[in-house]
A and B are shown apart, each in its own frame.
Chain A
């Protein structure tokens, strides 16, 4: 699956991997804001951002080509609008749309490829995001894999008997079948949630999540944060 690769990358041990999640998240914000608020996107600034990000991936020992390809996930959306812009006589804007969105996606990818998601979410708590919301996010991510595997086998099972989507029986039958599959998936998810709750109670849960270790924000993290901010400001000025 798509995410599995990113997760593997995030398990690395490089300098970037070892930085505190809060430092990396803040550095990402600086970079994104620099890209977003820059006046247009001069080729020079764009290339420098790109070079910095590529260096980042290389330093983190994440396959650069793989990362470049993954960040291309934004391109269909961007290219569609860029085409419209170009046709309506604004080719400069078209280039900006594609450039800015791709660079931003690449920057986000560098963060998640060097920070396991649970650590990242915990880092956000330090920035003031409500813990409740983060815990919901953590559970979404955890059970994504479980429920998606169930959905995949349902789709498979259906396709062995003609599938939901393709032609064959009446449109309505297949529509109802797909709705039924979702309802069954829903009921199974609901049951899983109840079992999880039971299992939490059995292990002494009393209404509040206690978490292990709060990461330390060390001097190296400060250095990293401040220098990335400085770089972002300088490059924006190009």
Chain B
């Protein structure tokens, strides 16, 4: 789901732009450590492949079809940092050339799909991909599934936080559709990986099963938080704030966000709406930071 401009409130898009920039910077740095400039064509052509993959339709059921989104597949082939860089490049080109997704909202879309989506896709593979054949299959499937589901749920949360009306039935239907397309992504990713391995087993990286429980918990938490976020943001207008207060992050988050905006407009922060938004964003930021942090940790482990 590519969010266009005009949908997100200023606080949300600005915060996510601020969040996405260093995250992409980090991904670029890590990518450069592994790929020199001579491999830029590989990254670019793989990006073009993901673009073109949308033209191949997969049968879903009665009359409909779906296609590969590709974040998880890229991560299995290129590693997560390069996959993030490639997805970022794709999103930028989609926004510029195809008017698919906004420019100010690019930070949001990058966070959802290129950063968190890719990490969420890579994590299961990293955790269980090194196990037996069945575990590996499940991991590959799960990676495709979580990457699409988490990206879509994050987008929904951001829309909810921005005050785009989302009655409970609509949110429910959306989540249902997301689950279906996430299942499809899992199935496509798995089928493509299997077909790739008959062509050349070297394409897909070998995962080290680390069986780290901590990472599994991070992943589960990310999915859970995103899902809970959607439900609260939509059905309980004040629910997220409540949750944040309970977790004790509301105050801190408000202060955190108060500083940069303080000179902008003084009385601004009094609004409950902003407190809610700030709390929500802080929660989002935590999820992202956890994912990125874990990604670093995972990468270090793999290169070790």
Instruction: Decide if B40 touches A136 in the complex (CB within 8 Å).
Output: yes
A150 within 8 A of B: yes
| Complex Cα spacing A165 to B49, Å | 20
B258 within 8 A of A: no
A184 within 8 A of B: yes
B291 within 8 A of A: no
B38 within 8 A of A: yes
| Interface 9-residue window, one of B118-126, B162-170, B207-215, B222-230 | B162-170
B51 within 8 A of A: yes
| Candidates A32, A141, A176; contact of B93 at CB < 8 Å | A141
Instruction: Decide if B45 touches A132 in the complex (CB within 8 Å).
Output: no
User: Dominant SS at the A interface?
Assistant: helix
Per-residue B-contact encoding for A172-207, CB less than 8 Å = 1, 0 else:
001110111111111101101110110011000101
A7: min CB distance to chain B, Å: 9
Chain A interface category by residue count: 35 or more
Per-residue B-contact encoding for A143-172, CB less than 8 Å = 1, 0 else:
110111011101100000000111000010
B216 within 8 A of A: no
Total CB contacts across the A-B interface at under 8 A: 252
| Interface 9-residue window, one of A51-59, A77-85, A215-223 | A77-85
| Complex Cα spacing A154 to B57, Å | 11
| Complex Cα spacing A182 to B198, Å | 13
A166: min CB distance to chain B, Å: 8
| Complex Cα spacing A181 to B104, Å | 36
User: Dominant SS at the B interface?
Assistant: helix
Instruction: Tally B residues with Cβ within 8 Å of A.
Output: 71
| Complex Cα spacing A138 to B83, Å | 16
B196 and chain A: residue at smallest CB distance: A183
Instruction: Decide if A108 touches B196 in the complex (CB within 8 Å).
Output: no
Instruction: Decide if A101 touches B51 in the complex (CB within 8 Å).
Output: no
| Candidates A78, A178, A187; contact of B57 at CB < 8 Å | A178
A226 within 8 A of B: no
Per-residue A-contact encoding for B38-50, CB less than 8 Å = 1, 0 else:
1111111111110
B18 within 8 A of A: no
Q: Could you say which residues of chain B place their CB within 8 Å of the CB of A135? A: 37, 40, 44
Would you give 16 A-B contacts (Cβ < 8 Å), ordered by A? A2-B98, A32-B102, A32-B104, A77-B4, A81-B164, A117-B96, A136-B86, A143-B48, A166-B59, A175-B191, A178-B58, A179-B58, A179-B195, A187-B199, A197-B42, A208-B37
Report B's interface with A, CB cutoff 8 A: 2, 4-7, 10, 13, 24-25, 28, 31-32, 36-49, 51-53, 55-59, 61, 65, 68, 85-86, 88-90, 92-93, 95-100, 102-104, 159, 163-167, 170, 187-188, 191-192, 194-196, 198-200, 203
